[in-house]
Chains A and B, each alone.
Chain A
C-alpha cells in the first residue's frame, strides 16, 4: 500500500527536494497546514489513547485532531470502537474529554437522541416528527480502530491500510521490550509555540545533546562524540537512534570501572529525580548496588547493569522480557513512530510522546508525555489522568531536560521566519530522521483525496 503514496507530481507547495534542506514555510505557512489537515491527518494512523484509559465497557476518551473529533469507546472486553463525535440529528458533539457512558447508552445532551455502545441508534425523541430513515443511516459512523503498544490507534480514512502494516517495522523493534505490558506512571502536557513537525524534530536527533543538555555529557563538551549514536531511517516515515555498538568502553582496571559506575549513578539520578521516567527510583536503587557488586575480569559495566536489573525484576515480580543482545541495545534509544508518536525505552520502562497540531494555528502544538513502566506484582496503576498543560517554562512542573528542549524549540520557531533562512540545513548523518519525516509527509500531501472533500 505504500506504493500508493509515491510522490506523484512534486507540485505541492514547499516540497522537499532532497534530504539536506527543509523549506521553512513548512513550519508556518497556513496553506501548508491546511494541506496537512486535508491529506495527512485525515488518513494516517494516530495514537488516540492508552488502553488503561478505557478499562471497562462504556468508558470513553475523546480524540481530537485538527477540526475532527472521535470518541473512542470500549464496547465490551474485546471490542473498542471509534465513533465520529457528532449527533446524527444536528451534529452536536456527543461527548467531551473522557468518562463513561452509563447504562450502555450514548445520549446527545441537546435533544436526547441515543445510541447503544455498538453504535446502533436506540432512541429518537418524538420519532413521529421525522421523515422515516433507514436505521443504518442513524448508526454512529466509525473510524478505523486498532491497538498496538497498549494504545488505541485510529484512522479517519476507511480505505487506509491496516495499522500494523503502516507501523512496520516499529513493532518488531519495540514489542520485544515489553511495551504492551507497560502502564502509566505519569502523564503531562505542554503547549509549545511551535509547529508540530519542528517540535518533534528536536526529539528525532540526539545531535543537540552536546550543546543543549551539557549535564548529560558530564562536561565532555565538544569532545562528546556525535557518532556515539547510530541513526536509522525506516519505511513509512519512522526512524530511530541507539547508542552505537562498541561505543561502550570495557573496563580494564578496577579504578576505571568504579569511575564508570559513579558516572552511571550520577546520570541515572539526573533522569530519575529530574524526570521520573526511563530510570525510575527502583532502577536507581539497583544501579547504586553496582558499587558493591563483585565483577569479573572481562565483564563490562553494561553487562553488570543488565544482570542487576534482571535480578531485581525477578525478585520484585516484574515480568521483564528476556532480551537478545540486539534488543538490549535498544534500551536508551529513541524510536519515532510516524506521524506523531515516540517511544524511549529503558529497562522495564519507557517515556512516550505524542504531538498534535493546534487546529488553525500552524505555530502551536500540544505535546503530551507519558512515563510508563512494567508494574511489579500487585501494583495497580489505575486509570491515568493528564496533568496540565503546563507552560513550557514552568520550572515547577518540568525538569531541566525538557525545559532545555522547549526553550530551543520556541527559539527555532521564531528563527525560521528569518528572511535569510528559506530552508533549514539537515545533516545527512545525524538528522536523517528529520528528512525522512518530511519526505513521508510529502508522500501524503502528493496524493489527492479520493473522496469528495
Chain B
C-alpha cells in the first residue's frame, strides 16, 4: 500500500487503492484543512509535492480549474481531495492534525 509522508510533521498516511489522500487521512482520524469537503472547490486541502510526483493520478478538469486559482501556480501543487497514488510520495502541508 502506498504511503504519503506529510512534512513538516512527518505524518505517514497509508492510502488504499482508489482512495484520495484526504479520504485516507480522514479514515485514519487526521484533521485535514478543507472548507468544501471534497468538492475540489475551496483549494484549502492543497499540498506541495516534494517527491514521487510520478506516482500521482493525472490532474482532472475540476482539479485543474481549482489549482488555477491558487496564487503562484507552482506546478507541484495538487489537491488532496482529488489526488490518488500508486507509489510512495512526500508532500508538504501545514495545518494537518494527527489522530487523537
Asked whether any CB of chain A lies closer than 8 Å to the CB of B35, the reply is: yes
Q: Which residues of chain A come closer than 8 Å to B37, judged between CB atoms?
A: 101-107, 114
Residue B63 lies at the interface, judged by CB distance under 8 Å to chain A: no
Instruction: Return B42 CB to nearest CB of chain A, in Å.
Output: 8
Instruction: Flag whether B41 is at the interface (Cβ < 8 A).
Output: yes
Does A103 lie within 8 Å of B39, measured CB to CB?
A: no
The residues in B between 36 and 59 inclusive whose CB is less than 8 angstroms from any CB of A are 36-39, 41-42
Interface membership of A112, Cβ < 8 A: yes
Q: What's the minimum C-beta distance from A419 to chain B, rounded to whole angstroms?
A: 51
Give 1 or 0 for each of A100-118: 1 = CB within 8 Å of chain B CB. 1111111101001010000
Alpha-carbon distance A143/B51, docked complex (angstroms): 48
Kindly provide the distance from the CB of B46 to the nearest chain A CB, expressed in whole angstroms: 15
Complex alpha-carbon distance, A114 and B35, angstroms: 9
Q: Contact at A102–B35, with CB atoms within 8 Å?
A: no
Residues of B1-38 contacting chain A, CB below 8 A: 20, 22-23, 26, 34-38
The digit string for B57-100, where 1 denotes a CB below 8 A from any CB of A, is: 00000000000000000000000010000000000000000000
Residues of the A chain whose Cβ atoms lie less than 8 Å from the Cβ of B38: 100-103
Q: CB-defined interface of A315-340 with B at 8 Å, one 1/0 digit per residue? A: 00000000000000000000000000
Asked if A99 CB lies within 8 Å of chain B CBs, one says yes
Contacts of A102 in B (CB 8 A): 20, 22-23, 26, 37-39, 81
Task: Specify the main secondary structure of chain B where it touches its partner.
Answer: loop
B35→A112 contact, CB < 8 A: yes
Give the complex CA separation of A112 and B44 in angstroms.
12
Alpha-carbon gap, A101 to B37, bound state (A): 7
Chain A residues near B36 (CB, 8 Å)? 107, 109, 112
A105: B residues at CB distance < 8 A: 37
Q: Are A107 and B35 in contact, CB atoms less than 8 angstroms apart?
A: yes
Per the bound structure, the CA–CA distance linking A114 and B41 in Å amounts to: 14
Chain B residue contacts of A114, Cβ below 8 A:
37
A102-B81, A103-B34 are contacts. A109–B26 as well, Cβ < 8 Å? no
* Nearest A residue to B25, CB-CB: A103
Contact in complex: B41, A109 (CB < 8 Å):
yes
CB neighbours (8 Å) of B22 from chain A are 102-103
User: Complex: how many Å from CA A114 to CA B39?
Assistant: 13
User: Quick one: closest A residue to B35, CB to CB?
Assistant: A112
CB contacts (< 8 Å) of A101 on chain B: these are 37-38
Contact A103 B26 (CB under 8 A): yes
Interface 1/0 per residue, A60-82 and B, CB below 8 Å: 00000000000000000000000
Closest CB in chain A relative to B82 CB, distance in Å: 10
Q: In chain A, residues 186-245, which have Cβ atoms closer than 8 Å to a Cβ of chain B?
A: none
In the complex, are the beta carbons of A99 and B39 less than 8 A apart? Answer: yes
A111 closest partner in B (C-beta): B35
- B34 proximity list for chain A (CB < 8 A): 103
Closest to A102 in B: B38
A107 to chain B: which residues have CB within 8 Å?
35-37, 39
Name the residue on A nearest B32 (C-beta): A103
Which one of B20, B22, B39, B42 has the highest number of Cβ atoms from chain A below 10 Å of its Cβ?
B39
For A99, what are the chain B residues with a Cβ–Cβ distance below 8 Å?
39
Q: How far is the CA of A99 from the CA of B34 in the complex (A)?
A: 18
> Which of the residues B23, B39, B81 comes within 8 Å of A109, measured between beta carbons?
B39
Distance between B34 CB and nearest chain A CB, rounded to angstroms: 7
Bound complex: CA A115 to CA B81 (Å): 18
Looking at the assembled complex, report how far the CB atom of B77 sits from the nearest CB atom of chain A, in whole angstroms.
Answer: 19
Whole-angstrom distance from the CB of A96 to the nearest CB of chain B? 10
1/0 per residue, CB under 8 A from B, across A236-274: the answer is 000000000000000000000000000000000000000
Task: Point out which of B20, B26, B38 has the most chain A C-beta atoms below 10 A from its C-beta.
Answer: B38
The distance in angstroms between the C-alpha atoms of A100 and B41, with both chains bound, is 13
- Report the bound CA distance from A102 to B41 in whole Å: 12
Minimal Cβ-Cβ distance residue in B for A106: B37
Q: How far is the CB of A55 from chain B (nearest CB, A)?
A: 14
Chain B nearest CB from A328 CB (Å) reads 42
A positions within 8 Å CB-CB of B: 99-107, 109, 112, 114
Query: What would 25 A/B residue contacts be, using CB atoms closer than 8 Å?
Result: A99-B39, A101-B37, A102-B20, A102-B22, A102-B23, A102-B26, A102-B37, A102-B81, A103-B22, A103-B26, A103-B34, A103-B37, A103-B38, A104-B37, A105-B37, A107-B35, A107-B36, A107-B37, A107-B39, A109-B36, A109-B39, A112-B35, A112-B36, A112-B42, A114-B37
Known: A103-B26, A103-B34. 4 other contacts (CB 8 A): A102-B23, A102-B81, A106-B37, A112-B35
